[in-house]
Amino acid sequence: MNNTATETRTVIVEREIAFPPEKIWRALTQPHLIEEWLMKNDFKPAVDHRFHLRGDWGAVECQVLAIEPHKTLSYTWSAMGLESVVTWTLTPTGTGTHLRMEQSGFKPDQTQAYQGAKFGWQKFFANLEQTLAKAD
């Protein structure tokens, strides 16, 4: 039985990126690089590590859930009443990497947060590609 009151929505962004997983992984897990494309942070690639992402508009509380180097990174993303999980999946391809970001846990009444995330992640992905292009 589907109970619409408990159903949540997910934002998914997928890109083919012409860099190897190792390089993208660094951008996802090194604080100085995360800051370039996402937000200021105190991230550490360790399960259970609690960290914050800080933007002009406020902060996101996060906790690392899972980490498999160059393959998967998952962490909680809590901000302004939103309790969600962000999962990154990196799959090598012939020309680089298929990068998939899934943010799950938007409640039906969190339309503004959901739309904001859909818009925001497109921007973050564009920033990430710029960061990768100039990082060594």
**DSSP single-letter state for residue 1:** -
Residue 1 lies in a domain: no
Residue 2 lies in a domain: no
pLDDT tens digits for 101-131?
999 999 999 999 999 999 999 999 999 999 9
pLDDT attached to residue 56:
87
Residue 68 lies in a domain: yes
- CATH number, domain containing residue 117: 3.30.530.20
What is the distance between the alpha carbons of residues 67 and 132, in angstroms, rounded to a whole number?
21
Question: pTM for this structure?
Answer: 0.93
Q: Which of 36, 11, 26 is nearest to 121 (CA)?
A: 11
Task: Indicate the pLDDT class of residue 5, thresholds 50, 70 and 90.
Answer: low
Range of the domain at 62: 11-134
Task: Indicate the pLDDT class of residue 13, thresholds 50, 70 and 90.
Answer: very high
State both tokens at 118.
């859909």
Domain count, the chain: 1
